[in-house]
Structure 1
Amino acid sequence: MDELKYVAAAPFKRNEGSSMLPQDFEFSLSFDLKWMTPEQASRILDIALNSHLLYMEDEHLHPAFDPSTVDIPRGFIPSKDILQQVTLVDQILEYIASCSNMDLKQVVSLVNNRHENLSGMVDVEVAALIIGREFGCDMDKFYEKVLQNVSING
């Protein structure tokens, strides 16, 4: 998680802001820092959002932590392994996309909208379970994992 937090913090530390547009975050990772391709930066954004390190509010990206408290090691470059992380919410989203024959981006959008409509009162995993059920997907295999995740995180 430290590596992902370093990557998530870097664009905010570089731009000294508390929020930015998602495309500015991706631009910073790929072109300013030259750490990855734009496609990889987009994937990192998804991973950081799903890991609750970042969140969206009013179409702007915000860190869920204080970036100024993150000391990124000198010469830090993220490993290729960081792109291989598959979070629980990623698993749920991919399952819903497969079950409903919808595009993954559409599923992500629906889940994010539901999460925002619920004012963030439930974890994104719970919002994903709700969307999955609405589309008739059998979400039973995820309930225990989501319950454990919710219990651990809050």
Structure 2
Amino acid sequence: MSDELKNILASIFRMGKGSSLSRVEMRNLLVYNLRWFSPEKADRVVESAISSGLVRTEKDGMIVPAFDISSVKLDIDYTPPRDLDLEKMVRPLFERLIDTIMTTGLDRKETVRSINKKVTELNMIFPCAAVFVGIERGADMSAFYPEIENSILFQEGSRVA
């Protein structure tokens, strides 16, 4: 996950009142208060933060950091780079799950096949099946839990071909 995205999130949560923010509050801080991004790019920052697992959405819809924002050290005049590429910063969840499982010795094709088999056999969504396969293979999948929780609550997982 990107240190740059963590820096951005730490900045807005420090600026925001309280430990949770709505999507609109996050967007407004990025666009109007900090003047770092256009409204469209600010929306992508918020979506990237959610999909990366760096933040989680509470039952009331408020967003809270999933990391200790006080551990992020920032210069007083911090601003994100102008050429910030969010798509490169946060790779899709399924790719990162597959890569983690591949560290156990499976190749990509066999990893995807194993995950899809669990999806079918156990009627699981893809992220849960990937965690299941990873744990079976001895991989530490715990870093993905907050992100998968968001995936389950707010998106639908599916097979990857």
Match of 1:40 in 2: 41
Give percent identity, aligned residues only: 29
Q: Is the counterpart of residue 12 in structure 1 residue 16 in structure 2?
A: no
**1:112-131 map, 5 Å:** 123-124=148-149, 127=152, 131=156
Structure 2 CA distance for aligned equivalents of residues 11 and 73 of structure 1: 14
Which protein has the bigger helix share?
1
Q: Aligned-pair RMSD on alpha carbons?
A: 3.1
Give, in whole Å, the separation in 1 of the partners of 2:8 and 2:36: 9
2:156 match: secondary structure = helix
Gaps of 5+ in 1: 92-110, 112-119, 142-154
Matched, 1:56 2:57: yes
Partner of 1:74: 76
- 2: distance between equivalents of 1:127 and 1:36? 29
Q: Would the alpha carbon gap of residues 82 and 124 (structure 1) be closer, same or farther in structure 2, given more than 3 Å must change? A: farther
Matches for 1:129-144 after TM superposition, within 5 Å:
131-133=156-158, 138-139=159-160, 141=161
Letter in structure 2 aligned against 1:65 = F
Higher relative contact order, structure no. (Cα contacts within 8 Å, ≥ 6 residues apart) = 2
Cα distance in 2, alignment partners of residues 64 and 22 from structure 1: 15
1:126–1:62 distance in 2 versus 1, CA, 3 Å? closer
On the 8 A contact 1:88/1:125 being kept in 2, the answer is: no
Q: Check whether the contact 2:51–2:151 (CA below 8 A) recurs between aligned residues.
A: no
CA change 1:69–1:36 in 2 (3 A) is: same
Q: Cα 1:13–1:39, aligned 2, differ >3 Å: closer, same or farther?
A: same
CA contact (8 A) 1:50 1:87 kept: no
**2:84 is paired with a residue of what secondary structure?**
helix
What is the rounded CA distance, in whole Å, between the counterparts of 2:23 and 2:6 in structure 1?
Answer: 16
Measure how far apart 1:16 and its partner are.
4.4
Paired residues, what number? Answer: 109
Query: Alpha carbons of 1:127 and 1:46: their partners in 2 closer, same or farther (altered >3 Å)?
Result: same
Confirm or deny: 8 A CA contact 1:89 1:125 kept in the other structure.
no
Q: Which runs of 5+ in 2 are unaligned?
A: 96-124, 126-144
Determine the C-alpha separation between the residues in 1 that align with 2:10 and 2:94.
21
Judge which range, 34-43 or 77-86, deviates more.
Answer: 77-86
